[in-house]
Structures are given as structure tokens and as C-alpha cells.
Amino acid sequence: MLLKLIIEIILGGVAGYIAAGLMKMDQSNFVLNVILGVVGGFVGGLIGNLLGIGGGWITGLILSIAGACLVVWAYRKFIKK
């Protein structure tokens, strides 16, 4: 259980870093990218579960990146002005 949580946080951090690059976001703020990636991973996982998409870690990473891109967009739209 704890190992799975640690892996999810690491995947979320990687997803946040990739999403920041895809969304042309400042990549120097590593902590913000990790936080947005972890939140995006959670969002991507929820969307994947609702759509019945699941599987291995590659699918999880893709869903995390998509969720992180969505969270970065929302962050820019509603928080960072």
C-alpha cells in the first residue's frame, strides 16, 4: 500500500514535469510541477476509472499526463493571472 502510494507520487511528478513541457509552462518551479502532476494523476485516474480505462503503468502515466495537462490549464485559467 505504501509502496503503491510512493510510486503514484513519483509517476505524478514525472507527469507534472512532462505536462509542464507540453503546456509551455516554466519548468524551473519543480515543486509546483510535481504538485500539479500529482493532482493531475489523481484527476487522470478518476477519468480513466469512469471511462473504464485501466491497465499497466504506461496507461497510468498517459492518463496522469493528460490529467496534469488539464490541471495546468485550469491553474493558468483560474489561479495564475
pLDDT of residue 46: 84
Domain ranges of the chain: 2-79
pLDDT of residue 7: 79
pLDDT of residue 81: 62
Calculate mean pLDDT across residues 64-71.
88
Task: Determine how many CB atoms are found less than 10 A away from the CB of residue 81.
Answer: 5
Instruction: List pLDDT tens digits, range 8-51.
Output: 778 878 888 888 888 888 767 778 888 888 888 888 888 888 88
Average pLDDT, the chain: 82
